[in-house]
Amino acid sequence: MQELSRLPGIGEKSATRLAFHLVRGNRQQIQDLAQALLDVTDKIRLCSSCMTLTEADPCALCTDPRRDAETICVVASPSDLIAIDRGGHFRGRYHVLHGLLSPLEGIGPDDLRIAELIRRLAGTAEVPPVKEVIIATSPSVDGEATAMYIARTLKPLGVKVSRIATGLPVGGELEYSDQATIARALAGRATM
Amino acid sequence: MQELSRLPGIGEKSATRLAFHLVRGNRQQIQDLAQALLDVTDKIRLCSSCMTLTEADPCALCTDPRRDAETICVVASPSDLIAIDRGGHFRGRYHVLHGLLSPLEGIGPDDLRIAELIRRLAGTAEVPPVKEVIIATSPSVDGEATAMYIARTLKPLGVKVSRIATGLPVGGELEYSDQATIARALAGRATM
């Protein structure tokens, strides 16, 4: 119970319920779970190219020849990468920062995987140089600050830097949208 | 009770409660309400220029000299106009369509105030010609169809037509966004 209650979102009551469920459950299931937990620490590492979580290095995304290596989509976390890739619309590659700049929490540029991103821009013998970096951090305060910092850092290196659109979500109603979003939707309007 | 229950969102129970409240309330309050209702039908009309609801014709928005008459923001309803204008970021003028195209509900172009919009483009003796029309209908199926129709109709007339941005709302998280919105945010990315 003590070990379980250290997990995020699991309090004393949930830990008790889980513990009793495990004790009562079949032995094989518990061993499978324990093995999976050991595997995570042993097998999962960061891809040396895009920094996402992976078993093989480089990861499947970085070695997929159908993916356009000239366009890199920068995200804050592996879960954001999955959120974007689930849609299947983006066919370039990714770069995971593992966090966002946050002066309040003491997270600076050196705590993020920005140096690793810069190293990728020039390309290698197998990979062509990067033409466009799309910054897909969330439109929150930290996400915007991180996007600004990366843009300022990368633009002098001669790469195109773009930012995902902020505006009304698909199916959203103007009447129920907040003013900041409406202002950004107007400012970010595109010629039809 | 019968009259009250015809109003939107007011069922039999609410109508009963409202009716008893009014009967028990002070006479002056009821007379004020009745007068306000009469005034609405007598005094409120459509602005002959922008088609929004107004007491004075042309409305205060169309006669405000500090508002840029060369930029028109097209909205579906007066409540959408208020949602945009509340922010104070947009300093142009408006045009209210009074609905959206909807083949399912049998609403075609002639049911909307599109002819009135076209008539405004050339300007008048006092008002300069329109340079840009920003279509600010919601990113719903009907809103998108209406935007496409208006763009196709206006562009041959030599006016710039733009569309408000669709994307992640301010403060929104990538991880919790729907795939259609993420796809639109990527497609609508802007160079930083």
Q: Could you report the per-residue pLDDT of B118-160, keeping only the tens digit for each? A: 999 999 988 999 999 999 999 999 999 999 999 999 999 999 9
A113 and A23 both lie in a single domain: no
Tell me: the pLDDT tens digits for A115-173?
A: 999 999 999 988 999 999 999 999 999 999 999 999 999 999 999 999 999 999 999 99
**Going by C-beta distance under 8 Å and a sequence separation of 6 or more, which residues neighbour residue B34?**
none
Write out the two tokens for B46: 């459509």
A67 and A152 both lie in a single domain: yes
For residue A146, which of A46, A75, A51, A79 has the smallest C-alpha distance? A75
**What value of ipTM does the predicted structure carry?**
0.81
The beta-strand segments (E) located in B56-105 are: 68-75, 92-96
Q: How far apart are CA A33 and CA A37, in angstroms?
A: 6
Is A172 inside any structural domain? no
A65 and A12 both lie in a single domain: no
Q: Which of B134, B135, B174 sits opposite A138 (nearest CB)?
A: B174
Residue B34 main-chain phi, psi, to 5 deg = -60, -40
pLDDT at residue B27, rounded to an integer = 86
Residues in chain B closer than 8 A to A76 (CB atoms): 174
Q: Tell how far CA B159 is from the center of its chain.
A: 21
A28 and A120 both lie in a single domain: no
Report whether B186 contacts A164 (CB < 8 A): yes
Helices (H) and strands (E) in chain A, counts: 7, 7
End-to-end Cα, chain B, rounded Å: 59
Total domains, chain A: 2
Question: pLDDT confidence of B39, banded at 50, 70, 90?
Answer: confident
Residue A48 above 90 pLDDT?
yes
pLDDT at residue B50, rounded to an integer = 96
Tell me: the pLDDT tens digits for A5-47?
A: 999 899 999 999 998 988 888 888 889 989 988 988 889 999 9
B173 in reach of chain A (CB within 8 A): yes
Q: How far apart are CA A143 and CA A108, in angstroms?
A: 13
B81 and B141 both lie in a single domain: yes
Average pLDDT over residues A50-76: 95
Q: Which of B77, B137, B163 sits opposite A190 (nearest CB)?
A: B163
B46 in reach of chain A (CB within 8 A): no
For residue A118, which of A158, A91, A58, A81 has the smallest C-alpha distance? A158
Q: How far apart are CA A150 and CA B45, in angstroms?
A: 52
Residue B23 above 90 pLDDT?
no
CATH number at residue B85: 3.40.1360.10
Is B169 inside any structural domain? no
pTM of the model: 0.82
Average pLDDT over residues B68-86: 96
B12 and B61 both lie in a single domain: no
- CB–CB of A138 and B183 under 8 A? no
- CB–CB of B180 and A171 under 8 A? yes
Rounded to the nearest angstrom, the minimum Cα separation between A66 and chain B is 19
Question: pLDDT confidence of B102, banded at 50, 70, 90?
Answer: very high
Write out the two tokens for B169: 């709302």
Is A75 inside any structural domain? yes
What residue numbers bound the domain in which A10 lies?
4-36
Q: Which of B151, B165, B179 sits opposite A165 (nearest CB)?
A: B165
- CB–CB of A190 and B76 under 8 A? no
Q: How far apart are CA A138 and CA B78, in angstroms?
A: 31
Residues in chain A closer than 8 A to B182 (CB atoms): 83-84, 87, 89
Strand B92-96 to A190-191 pairing: unpaired
Collapsed DSSP state (helix, strand, coil) of residue A3: coil
pLDDT at residue A23, rounded to an integer = 86
Locus of tokens 């300093």: B91
Is B180 inside any structural domain? no
Rounded to the nearest angstrom, the minimum Cα separation between A34 and chain B is 28
Is B65 inside any structural domain? yes
pLDDT at residue A98, rounded to an integer = 97
